Chain A
Amino acid sequence: DAGVTQSPTHLIKTRGQHVTLRCSPISGHKSVSWYQQVLGQGPQFIFQYYEKEERGRGNFPDRFSARQFPNYSSELNVNALLLGDSALYLCASSLTGTGVWDTEAFFGQGTRLTVV
């Protein structure tokens, strides 16, 4: 059974460009969350989607947006890229996405974004 898959694995973009990152959750998982991990730091929460609805949003600017599709896959979009957006972007899937955390979150291997 496939785990969480993310694409692309690596990406280099120029300041001001736009980027779209993709995530496919584990089959049967309905919740997808996105995290940004800057070198030397722990992952920081960006968005959570459950059943195609946004359930939570972290402290990130409006340049960051996301959506979840009927097949529960998800896209993270970042506009007007800044050098500081260079990071590992992690997608996590879980079975449920409401209330108290009751199921394990499984992470994909991430997309390493470099903004030059």
Chain B
Amino acid sequence: RKEVEQDPGPFNVPEGATVAFNCTYSNSASQSFFWYRQDCRKEPKLLMSVYSSGNEDGRFTAQLNRASQYISLLIRDSKLSDSATYLCVVTIDQTGANNLFFGTGTRLTVIP
């Protein structure tokens, strides 16, 4: 069973739309949660951390539900520049290492 499961998409949405991505994680000992963004043939970059209380950064809102082991990302007023793959990431403290566990990524294309 994968540590992190995501709907791979693709999601094709018009400019200005609101789109939501979901992800589930299997290990209840997971400690930290993130959304990373990866543009085509580029490296992943941190989009935002995810906290139990939920957090917002401009048009982006992330939510964490520890009881359901579920993470979400909401993008409002989509821009063409939001087109990318969004990776759900968790960390599990294993013997002091803090490696990142990535989902397969959800591909978003924003259409003019």
Min Cβ gap B90→A in Å is 9
In the complex, are the beta carbons of A97 and B44 less than 8 A apart? no
In the complex, are the beta carbons of A101 and B98 less than 8 A apart? yes
Which B residue's beta carbon lies closest to that of A42? B102
Which A residue's beta carbon lies closest to that of B45? A107
Residue A28 lies at the interface, judged by CB distance under 8 Å to chain B: no
The interface residues of chain A, by DSSP majority, are classed as: loop
Interface string of A85-116 (1 = CB under 8 A from B): 00000101000011111001101111000000
Min Cβ gap A58→B in Å is 7
Q: A56-B95, A101-B31 are in contact. Are A41 and B104 (CB under 8 A)?
A: yes
Interface stretch, picked from A14-22, A43-51, A71-79, is A43-51
Which A residue's beta carbon lies closest to that of B95? A56
In the complex, are the beta carbons of A45 and B103 less than 8 A apart? no
Interface string of A23-61 (1 = CB under 8 A from B): 000000000010100001111110010000001101000
Q: Mark out the residues of chain B between 1 and 27 whose CB falls within 8 Å of any chain A CB in the assembled complex.
A: 4, 6, 8
Complex CA–CA separation, A104 to B98 (angstroms)? 11
Q: A42-B105, A100-B31, A100-B32 are in contact. Are A109 and B98 (CB under 8 A)?
A: no
10 cross-chain pairs, A with B, having the tightest CB-CB distances, nearest first: A56-B97, A42-B102, A107-B43, A45-B99, A101-B32, A55-B97, A101-B91, A101-B98, A48-B97, A43-B102
